Amino acid sequence: MDLTNKVVLLTGAKRIGAVVAESLARGGADIALVYNRSEDEAATTVAAVRAFGRRAIAIHAELREPDECQRIVDETVRGLGRLDVLVAMASLYSGIPLAEMTADHWNRQLDVDLRSGFLCAQAAVAPMKAQGGGRIIFFSDWVAASGRPRYPGFAHYYVGKAGVKALTEAMALELAGEQILVNAVAPGPIVAPPDTSLDDVRAVADATPLGRWGGEAEIAKAVKFLIETDFVTGETIRVDGGRHLK
């Protein structure tokens, strides 16, 4: 798929999402950004996309609500005229010991990481089918894509991201006949969380075969590849500097 004049709906417009949005706009796409609490960041990204001469809108939504997932698709089509690509990046990341995990912790994690991606993708199918195809790109995690947990305290996160991988495969099979390709990106050490200590940053780099953090641009490259390819579907691609090899 050529990005020129295509419309991309991107959920999770903060940090890495902002870089992805700008990269796709540079390639000729118009962008609809979905945000929850990051209104200022979304506005900054919209301005950056428009600076490339592309159209951009920001949509506030609570993706834990099923009706909101349909609404963002409807607003994208209404505001930008079509929908070619869904990039479902919305996610939560926080650890909690298994003994302290409540049903609310569990449900909140899976609602955002797994259910919202499914509901947004389900809503996106109709406009994609109407124009002869499209792309759906989910976000898993290098640990889940490697098939085994590594960090205690992240059971809910691991299960959610493992579910994303399974969802990718199941939807890819069902939608192949509609020329809707479904894939996932599984990031590894891309950017350190804001509260990461310098020692922890170095430890992660040392544990990564390439010896460094990847940076947001590497995720943008992977997303762009999965949009442009016409013959890859049902894959979860690790972008982790070889981290899964150790």
Question: Is the pTM value of this prediction over 0.85?
Answer: yes
CA distance 148 to 164: 14
CA distance 86 to 74: 13
pLDDT of residue 33: 96
CATH T-level fold of 7-245: Rossmann fold (3.40.50)
Q: Is 242 left (phi over 0), alpha (psi -120 to 50) or beta?
A: left
Question: What letter represents residue 116's amino acid?
Answer: S
Cα distances (Å, whole numbers) of residue 34 to 69, 149, 172: 10, 30, 23
pLDDT of residue 2: 96
pLDDT tens string 134-193 = 999 999 999 999 988 888 889 999 999 999 999 999 999 999 999 999 999 999 999 988
CA distance 220 to 208: 20
Given pLDDT bands bounded at 50, 70 and 90, which one contains residue 13?
confident
Percent of the chain with pLDDT over 90: 87
pLDDT tens string 19-55 = 999 999 999 999 999 998 888 899 999 999 999 999 9
The DSSP element (H or E) to which 133 belongs, if any, is none
pLDDT of residue 95 exceeding 80, the answer is: yes
pLDDT of residue 75: 98
Cα distances (Å, whole numbers) of residue 142 to 48, 127, 196: 29, 31, 19
Beta bridge partners of 187: 239
pLDDT tens string 52-86 = 999 999 999 999 888 999 999 999 999 999 999 99
For residue 214, give the DSSP letter: -
pLDDT of residue 93: 87
pLDDT of residue 174: 98
Catalytically active residues, by annotation: 157
Backbone angles phi, psi at 233, to 5 degrees: -150, 150
Q: CA geometry: angle at 98 spanning 147 and 205, to 5°?
A: 50
pLDDT of residue 212 exceeding 80, the answer is: yes
pLDDT of residue 14: 79
Cα distances (Å, whole numbers) of residue 143 to 30, 116, 151, 236: 32, 21, 9, 12
* Angle, in degrees to the nearest 10, between helices 116-130 and 155-175: 20
Once rounded to an integer, what is the mean pLDDT over residues 108-116? 94
For residue 100, give the DSSP letter: G
pLDDT of residue 128: 98
Given pLDDT bands bounded at 50, 70 and 90, which one contains residue 114?
very high
pLDDT of residue 12: 85
**Which of 130, 145, 222 minimizes the C-alpha distance to 180?**
130
Query: Count of CB atoms within 10 A of residue 201's CB?
Result: 14
Strand, helix or coil at 199? helix
pLDDT tens string 213-223 = 999 999 999 99
Beta bridge partners of 184: 138, 236
Q: Which residue has the tokens 């962008």?
A: 31
pLDDT of residue 246: 84
pLDDT of residue 22: 97
